[in-house]
Amino acid sequence: MTMRSFSGKKVAVVGMGLSGVAAATLLHKHGADIVLTDDKPETELKEAMKKLEGMNIEYCLGGISPDSLLGSELIVISPGVPAELPQIQRARRAGVEIISEIELAYSFCHAPLIAITGTNGKTTTAMLTHHIATHAGLSAGLAGNIELAFSEAVNEGPFDVMVLEISSFQLENIKEFKPRIGVLLNISSDHLDRHKDMNDYITAKLALFKNQTPSDFSVLNRDDNTVVSSTEAIRSNALWFSMRVEVEQGAFLRGDTLIARFEGGEEEVMRLSDIPLLGRHNVENVLAAVAATLPLKLPSDCYKQAVANFPGAEHRLEKVREMDGVLFVNDSKATNIGALEKSLESFDRPIILIAGGRGKRSSYRVLRSIVENKVKALIVIGEDAALLEEALGDIVSIRKEETLPDAVRRAAALAQPGDCVLLAPACASFDMFRNYKHRGQVFKEAVQDL
């Protein structure tokens, strides 16, 4: 990577979320002259500004300032900010350099990177990969699209390895960013409210590998047809994971045993019964994490032990409570249709599903078969409630509720012993909640209040 100097450089940071604040802090540490701009007014950004007190930062709030962007030598974009905004496009045409927050942090990171992307499973796989590495005795960082911004994490090292969860948004404006090990879990329809179309979304995901060389590694899902058909341009050394076929190099299932193959060797890693996580998709996540850590040449016995004591990720198929024979599960992170499908596939009991929120322009009709087979009743909430009812109302009993606590109470009233009440919205949360975590917390509190 190229080590860059930011001392005395005029840098505009767009967006004052976690990534923007972390980027500004990192740039201040390295002597940059910073201007922060955001659509939100100052009254909504007091908490973020408090974190930056004493840094002599200029603020342009209540709208992304074109003049601030044009007057800068470099623009750092937070992942929540579309690069197609007119102000940013104007600065690009004027010759101002534009990079993502992960590109900025990459220029300060000295540890090899394991970067994990995909439509679903990123957080669990990133956390599990980090858990395996630390269980094996490595000093490992965990950052990206997961609690801690990459720009903040690079200040915490040194690390033996850095594990990153990476979204398509974060990959939109990279230049030199290159993981030693890049992981693509799966690709299905998502974020079409942000990306122009599915091809644009796939291109954003594949950017993870664009700077890799044959000495690097790509970890790819052999069972995902879109992944398999999209990887011709990847130049790195492929490690595959599969639940269906034996792969030449990587991790796969043979009966009920997880097998790892690397550099001509083969070993049994663990049994399916050793995995405490719900759902077959989490077996995929374990296979991906095993494959991703094979180049680290960890002791073979660390995998079984690490997976066995892995606590799982909050708001991802999280068991909340079992009451009167009814299981309540929080999968608030199921924010797209593919995640909802995987969530439904995780249970062999009748499901009372709570879904809805702010949709992502994907058709809910693709859910008809699995909903008909798995869902006993559907309770819809949020902006897309009517669209869900229109797509599925003729095959399943549907009730609409105004709030999530109301939906929980309705689901509990409908449930019988042996049923599962499942929050798996297939939508973003921003119509009713701050984020998916807030939504999941409201669900858990409503369940505990029953």
How far the first Cα of the chain sits from its last, in Å, is 54
CB neighbour list of residue 174: distance below 8 Å, 6 or more residues apart: 99, 100, 102, 103, 106, 207, 210, 211
Please tell me the predicted confidence (pLDDT) of residue 2. Answer: 60
Q: Which of 427, 437, 436, 412 is nearest to 328 (CA)?
A: 412
Extended strands (E) in 3-84: 10-14, 33-38, 58-61, 74-77
Q: Are strands 326-330 and 318-323 parallel, antiparallel or unpaired?
A: antiparallel
Give the position of tokens 């550099």.
263
Q: What is the pTM of this model?
A: 0.79
Pair (231, 122) in one structural domain: yes
Domain CATH code at residue 44: 3.40.50.720
Q: Is residue 194 part of a domain?
A: yes
Range of the domain at 54: 10-103
Q: 10 Å Cβ neighbour count for 314?
A: 14
Q: What's the domain count of the chain? A: 3
Q: Is residue 3 part of a domain?
A: no
Of 103, 128, 157, which one is at a domain's C-terminal end? 103
Instruction: Rank 147-156, 250-259, 332-341 by mean pLDDT and report only the highest.
Output: 250-259
Pair (288, 426) in one structural domain: no
Q: Is residue 2 part of a domain?
A: no
Six-digit token string for 361: 């322009």
Pair (304, 322) in one structural domain: no
- In this structure, is the dihedral angle defined by the CA atoms of residues 376, 377, 382 and 386, taken in order, positive or negative? positive
- In this structure, is the dihedral angle defined by the CA atoms of residues 153, 33, 85 and 359, taken in order, positive or negative? positive
Give the confidence band of 439 by pLDDT, cuts at 50, 70, 90.
Answer: very high
Pair (182, 272) in one structural domain: yes
pLDDT in tens, 230-273: 888 899 999 999 999 999 999 999 999 999 999 999 999 999 99
pLDDT in tens, 370-396: 999 999 999 999 999 999 999 999 999
